[in-house]
Amino acid sequence: MQQTIVLTWQLSEIHGWGLVGLHTALHLLDQGRTPLLAERPLLDALRPANRMRVEPLLDAQQRLAVIVRQAGDNVLCLEGTTVLQALGNGFVPGVAARLRGSRTVGVIAFENTLFDADVLGRAQEYDRIVVHSTYNLSLLTEQGFRNVGLAFQGVDPDELAPAAAVGRFGDRFVVFSGGKIEFRKGQDIVLAAFRRFRERRPDALLVTAWHNHWPGTSASIAESPYTPTPPAIGENGRLRIVEWAMAHGVAPDGFIDMGVLARDQLAPILADCHAAVFPNRCEGATNLVAMEAMACGVPVILSANTGHLDLIREGNCLPLSRQPSLPDPDGSRRGWGESSVDELVEQLDRLYTDRAAARDCAEKGRAFVRGERTWRAFARSFVEAVD
């Protein structure tokens, strides 16, 4: 008999964890396996149709919340369930750390590759671990873990319906870059490359969606050899992205910051873009924003390292293949790569000069993501990996 699956993190449509939980819950409902939620969903961040399907789960969630509060600091075991624990770097559990099931499965996409005794001890507490990239799977296998599942994250094709370009940016060559600012994501490399690219192509425009819901974590960008200071945090709690870009040599007429994008804004904006760039130093999963750009038919430039390797197929993107390792004295950045600014400029220029080849790349990328990397496919493989 299949066990009830308990999701211990908050469902939403504003970040990766929320989407993983939401689409898993929707799939389980489709299968007649009602999940149990340990956290109240962020209902305001769900599309109406998804909110309607999730709302019937709230009564059971509230009852479980009462039981968890009554348990206090004691471990609470829910017999007959499989509890999914959301884990951060170092295999540190989230808010429901004391909630266990007949089986307890750790779910993780990690970038910190340090496996000291404490990390290994925490990882070994789980009956099974499920990851979202071959990169993470290989690292765990090297450490002797055998009960590890793999499920690739995806996109929602209905949400990313093809949109017609409307020329909102005029006749510029538009380069898109998305993802929260941090050293790992490589926005510093984007700025350095775009400055050089625009010297060749003055009609180029960089459009970004770099805001970070946890702005303090953006301080790590100061590790960069290109940007010695992180963006300031304004009085409204938002990163001062434009000011930061200008301070690093990007011309005011060559840069637009889109702020925090709602889910329904992404596809229309990408429809007016000619390239999307992701020179990330590391991805523990496979990069949701990159997949969304591919699904929208934008030719994508990807660093050929870590989780990105699971997205790269012949002709479906332009890879950044020069990936020297970063300094790693303690083993916490195994597999991380430093994308070449020169190579990124070269790849942008390829897309600029050969629009037919760019369209072919975009179409192959779109077909790959929409055919193989959907949230529906993810949820099916994820639940199978859990079971």
CA distances from 228 to 4, 29, 220, 222, 244 (A): 49, 48, 10, 5, 11
Per-residue pLDDT at 214: 80
Q: Fill in the DSSP letter of residue 231.
A: P
CA distances from 10 to 17, 112, 125 (A): 8, 23, 22
User: pTM for the full model?
Assistant: 0.95
Instruction: Tokens for 229, please give them.
Output: 């200071």
Domains of the chain: 4-150 (3.40.50), 173-372 (3.40.50.2000)
Per-residue pLDDT at 317: 98
Per-residue pLDDT at 236: 83
Per-residue pLDDT at 139: 98
Per-residue pLDDT at 299: 98
Of 179, 175, 207, give the one whose Cα is nearest residue 285: 179
Rounded distance between C-alpha atoms, residue 50 and residue 48, angstroms: 5
Per-residue pLDDT at 1: 67
Of 372, 356, 283, 355, give the one whose Cα is nearest residue 320: 283
Per-residue pLDDT at 94: 86
Number of Cβ atoms within 10 Å of the Cβ of 167: 10
Q: Please report, in tens digits, the pLDDT of each residue of the chain (387 residues total).
A: 689 999 999 999 988 999 999 999 999 999 999 999 999 999 999 999 999 999 999 999 999 999 999 988 899 999 999 999 999 999 999 878 899 999 999 999 999 999 999 999 999 999 999 999 999 999 999 999 999 999 999 999 988 887 888 999 999 999 999 999 999 999 999 999 999 999 999 999 999 999 887 888 899 999 999 988 899 988 888 899 999 999 988 999 999 999 888 888 899 999 999 999 999 999 999 999 999 999 999 999 999 999 999 999 999 999 999 999 999 999 999 999 999 999 999 999 999 999 999 999 999 999 999 999 999 999 999 999 999
| Cβ-contact 307, 315 below 8 angstroms | no
Q: How many CA atoms lie within 13 A of 305 on its CB side?
A: 26
Per-residue pLDDT at 72: 87
- Helix boundaries (H) for the chain: 16-30, 48-54, 58-71, 117-123, 134-142, 187-200, 241-247, 263-270, 288-295, 341-353, 355-372, 375-386
CA distances from 294 to 118, 303, 354 (A): 39, 14, 18
